[in-house]
Every structure is written in C-alpha cells, then in structure tokens.
Structure 1
Amino acid sequence: MLYAFCAYSNNCTCTYVLGAFVLLWVLVWFYRDNLEITKVSEKHVFVTGCDSGFGHLLCKCLDKCGFRVLAGCLTEKGADDLKRATGPFLKTFILDVTSTISIQKALEWTKKEVGDKGLWGLVNNAGRSLPMGPSEWMKIEDFQSTLKVNMTGMIEMTMNFLPLVKKARGRVVNVASVLGRVAANGGGYCVSKFAVESFSDCLRRDIQNFGVNVCIIEPGFFKTQVTSLEPIERELHRLWNQLTPEVKESYGDKYLDKYIKIQRLIMNTICDSDLSKVTNCMEHALLAVHPRTRYSAGWDAKLLWIPLSYMPACVVDIALKLVLPKPAKSV
C-alpha cells in the first residue's frame, strides 16, 4: 500500500515537473519570438518581384515600418505604381532575375545605396508558376522557363548579394511554397520550389557561423497572378494543342475539360485573398531578433499541405488520384 502511494506521488511529481518545463519553454519561445530589432531606418532591404502580389504589398509594409526599401521590378509600370504608393525612401530598380547582366547591375546599384552598412535583408520573392499541368504534356522549354526564375534566378541573386548580407549580419528570405513540400502537379513550379527549400537549408547551415539567418516562406494558395485562372487555362490549352495525336488519344477528348474544371474548383475553394498573411511572415523574418527557419502562411498550408507532406507517399498518391480525372486509356 505504501509502495503504491509512493509510486503515485513520484508519477505526479514527474507530471508536474514536465508540465512546468513545457509551460516555461512556451513562454520563453513567445518572448524570444516577439523581440524586434532596433534602428530599422538605418537598414536596407532588397526585394525582388515587386510589380504585384506579395512583393508589391511587402514593399509598402516595409516602407511604413521605416526600412530603406530597394525594390526590384520587372517593368517600368510596376516600378511607377509602387513609387506612387510609397514614401520617398523607397527606391526601385528594373530587374530581370533571369539575366546575369541585370543582376550584376542591380548589385552595383545596391552597393552604392547601402554603402558600408551592408544589406540587412534580401527577399527572393520573384517567381512564376506557369506552365502547370500533367508532366507528359511538357517540353523541356516549359520546365526551363520556370526554373530560370524560381530556381536559377533565386540562387544567382543570393550568391551575388550574399557578401553584402554578411557585412550587415542580416537575413536571406526565400519564398518557397507548400508545393515545395507536396508535388501536386507537373511542370517546373513544384520542381523549383523543392529546390528553393533544399538550397535554403544548405545555405543556412553553411553560413550560420557568420550571423546570417536564412528563412523560408511557404505560402499556401492565395489570389495572385500566380493562381489566376485565365492564364492557367490558356497555358493548359497551349500544352494540349502541342501534344501528338497518340498522346491526346491516350488521355481522351474530355480530359482537358475535366482537368480545367478541377483547377477552377481548387482555386475558387482554397485561394485566400488576404495577402497580408504572407507578408506578415516576411516582415517577421526581417524584424525579429530571432527569426524562424520556416513560416507557413494560410489556413490550407497549416491544415492541409504541411500535414500532408509528412504522410507516406502512398497517401498523397491516393489523394491526388481521387481528385484528378482519369485518362481514357489508364490501366
């Protein structure tokens, strides 16, 4: 009887100690997570892909925070629209991340802007999603057009600007995607976003001793140009029209229409219109004293895609098989 009581008391004590430890850990984590850097007005941040979407909104938010924002825009119109919406301290540069010459010019311009302070933040946001569709429908050029922006462009930007970031002991923020966790469709997008994940992990581990943080943003589905239905459907028709008669026959005449209907259903159901859920993560990565390694933005990222990424491959395969239409000559 006495032995049982002692054992019960010991178990209760262990439970209390463990509970207190978990509570303390949570409190410390929240405290560290909310610590913010100072002297924001002295820090420069370079953002790519600022014509629209996440990049455009992020630049406006950082400008309000007091950062010296250097915005890389692909077009003059995008640069003009951004300058009209921001203060005098935001500066724009016409940048094509697929061009080595353009990147080098942007680097020389940035060196003059930041001086001896270095670059506090590099946000690799520029990206493209199309073409997307069944892998068999793609040509090598279809993969390359996306990889040049999302993968090669991101890596080349990072490698060129890294010395400036090291000087400031700043941050590299790379925009990946939940589709860099779960390969849900063919084309270069998923391939490139998996590459963003792995490159960012390698870079973080390689340069962690230099005081540089590397953060990964993993947005779910949001209403941007990347998820706009009109260009998605236009590209699917283009891919279908370039197929050989034999391949078309194997899928069946109705496959394309069914595939497009499913894309419409997914985009209309899942896509979130609140882009601030993503830019808030980017801001935290730049403002926090202790930024997180990964940020998942959007309800679908947290409740669907990220949990799904930890499932066995067969579970994901079955789920996608149930969603996507079946080809006419499937086995």
Structure 2
Amino acid sequence: MWLYLAALLLGLYFLRRWYRERQTVENLTEKYVFITGCDTGFGNLLARHLDARGLRVLAACLTQQGAEELGKVTSERLQTTLLDVTSTESVAAAAAWAKEHVGDGGLWGLVNNAGITIPGAPNGWLTKEDFQKVLNVNLLGTIDVTLHLLPLLMRARGRVVNVSSVWGRISILGGAYSPSKYAVEAFSDSLRRELLPFGTKVCIIEPGFFHTAATDAKLVIGNLHRIWERVPEEIKLNYTEMTKYTILLGTLSRQPLSMVTNCMEHALTALHPRTRYSAGWDAMIYGIPASYLPTVLVDQVVNLAWLSLSQKS
C-alpha cells in the first residue's frame, strides 16, 4: 500500500511540475533580452530563436563580422552591438547602449553566454597568465556585465541566466575552465538569494561537452600542442603522455546545441523557471550523478577512464 501511495505522490509531483513549467510569461514580444557571445554557438542560436518568437533581442558580438552575419539572418527587431567582456569600458558602453533601447521598461533578460575553453591543458603545463585569460572572460566578464545591467534587470523584475557547466560541479580536466565555472555557480547562488526579495530571478545553465567554435577539436588540440612545446623539460619528464588529453579533446561531444538553447529559452520565457538546467546526455548520465558521489569513488572512476584511453592509444 505504501509503495502505491509513494508512486501516486511522485506522479502528482511530476504532473504539477510539468503543468507549472508549461506556463509562459505574458507579453513576450515586448520583452528585451541581452545576450553575450552571439558570434557563434549557443548565443548565436539563442538570438535567432528568440527573434523568431518575437522577443526584442539585444545581441552582443565580439567581432563586427559576427554582428553582420547575425543581422543577415534575423529580423529588424534584433539589434547588435560589439562587446568585449574583458574590457570594463566596452561593458559600460554596451550597458549604456542597452539602456537607450529598453527605456523605462527595463531589461527582461540577460544571458551571460560568452565564454572560452582555452588555454586548457594539464595544470602543470600552464602559467598564471593562462588561468587569467579564461577567468577574465568566463568569470569576471560575467560579473562585470551583470553588475552593469543589474539596475535595468531589477526595474523589469527580469531574469539573469548564467551559463556555467556541469564541469563546474565536478572537474576532470586541468586549466581554468572548471574553476571559472565553479565560481560562476557561486556568484549565481549568492546573486539569486540577494535578488529574491526584488522579484528578479537567477538561473544557471549547466551544459556538458558540446562542439562549438569555442571547443573546436582542431583548435583545442592545436592549443594543447603549442602549450606542450613551451613546457620546461623537467615538467615534461612527469607528463610523458599527451594521448589522454588529445583523445578526449579530439572527441568533444557533438550533441545538438538546441539542448542548451532550449534550456536558456525556457529560463527566459517560463513563468516558473528552474533554478538549474542540465543540458547534454553526458551531463545528465555522468556529470550530475558523479557530483553527488563520494569523492574517493569519483577519483578512481576518472583515473580508470584516463588509463583506458591511454591503453587504447
């Protein structure tokens, strides 16, 4: 009897959750959404999807070429600007530009999507400057953009959507990518609790491995080899095998980018968005469960995976 009752309660929970998550925000065509990193990848696809739904998209691109190409495939509603998230002057200019567009209504959504994965390699191969390059974009860029646009977001009682990673829960690779995403998770958590009384929501997107311009296999592996060439000989003696990293980075997941952008879109348009969204089969099958397992067990599993890759080579 208790088993049936538990099954019934579980079914009712998921039915209620399904119903709540299908409810959407009203007047979406009047909402402004600011997205960073729209040249390619998740940001580009999200900008096009939201534009097709009638939202007013403010797309920030790193390059003029990226802005022009996005403008060619979208409506006149979508507006583009150039933004380097590592430059406070550029961020301030983009925030002023956004303020001119949104007016008194404020900004409904901010998607902190801009991010990089390289320089990335075993920690022992890297320098402090390598870590700074990634942290400046993935973490400090996210913080800087958010702080500049926060008054507009609070005015609209809108949404902040920060792109973290499932590898911000569990780290299996060296370099600053995972540390930056761990920090984005912490920043998002503190910001969510801070803004809760003001009606402004903060959501976190946690993708797994996806094949984008930032994670292009040839680019990542080329970077890896360039870093290896400058590694001191005494360090190389302890890292005689590059194969483990080369194989893994060369087989980056080719899951559909829409698995991530659908989560972003729901976070912006749902009346009751989730606090966290996991995207990608690797995230749901491995990353999320592993983040709850005992550390000693995960360490052994990861070590066996590396050993298996090395032996296959």
What is the TM-score of this pair, normalised by structure 1? 0.90
User: Which structure 1 residue ranges, 4+ long, deviate > 6 Å from structure 2?
Assistant: none
When structure 1 is superposed on structure 2, of 84-93 and 28-37 the one drifting more is: 28-37
| Aligned with residue 302 of structure 1, among 263, 274, 284 | 284
Q: How far off is 1:17 after superposition?
A: 4.8
Judge which range, 221-230 or 209-218, deviates more.
Answer: 221-230
> Structure 1 residue 79 and structure 2 residue 61: aligned?
no
Aligned residue for 2:129? 141
Q: 2:79 aligns with which of 70, 91, 100?
A: 91
Matched, 1:283 2:265: yes
Is structure 2 residue 297 aligned with structure 1 residue 315?
A: yes
- Residue 55 of structure 1 pairs with residue 30 of structure 2: no
Once residues 231 and 195 of structure 1 are traced to their aligned partners in structure 2, the CA distance between those partners, rounded to angstroms, is 25
Tell me which residue corresponds to 2:30: 42
Amino acid at match of 2:289: P
Report the Cα offset of residue 246 of structure 1.
1.0
Stretches of structure 1 lacking an aligned partner (at least 5 in a row) = 1-11, 327-331
Task: Give the AA of the match of 1:260.
Answer: T
* Residue 16 to residue 314, structure 1, CA distance change in 2 (3 Å): closer
The match for 1:7 is: none
* Structure label with greater radius of gyration: 1
Residue of structure 2 aligned with 1:233, choices 221, 232, 253: 221
SS in 1 for 2:242: helix
Percent identity over the alignment is: 50
Structure 1 residue 15 displacement after superposition: 5.2
SS of corresponding position for 1:133? coil
Q: CA deviation at 1:152?
A: 0.3
Equivalent position to 2:249, from 232, 239, 263: 263
Report whether the alignment pairs 1:28 with 2:31: no
How many angstroms apart in 2 are the aligned matches of 1:31 and 1:234? 47
Alpha-carbon distance in structure 2 between the residues aligned to 1:43 and 1:239: 44
Counterpart of 1:214 in 2: which secondary structure? strand
**Is residue 68 from structure 1 mapped to residue 50 from structure 2 by the alignment?**
no
Output one character per residue of 1:220-273: Cα deviation in whole Å (capped at 9) or x when no partner. 111112221111111111221111111112222xx1245313432x42xxx134
Q: Which residue in the other structure is 2:189 paired with?
A: 201
Deviation at 1:196, TM superposition (A): 0.8
Q: Is this contact kept in 2: 1:33–1:290, CA < 8 A?
A: yes
Count of equivalent residues? 308
Amino acid at match of 2:164: A
Alignment of 1:178 onto 2:166: yes
How many angstroms does 1:195 deviate by? 0.7
Q: Name 1:168's counterpart in structure 2.
A: 156
Cα-to-partner distance string for 1:91-130 (whole Å, 9 max, x where unaligned) = 0000000000000001111111000000000000000000
TM-score by length of 2: 0.95
Match of 1:3 in 2: none
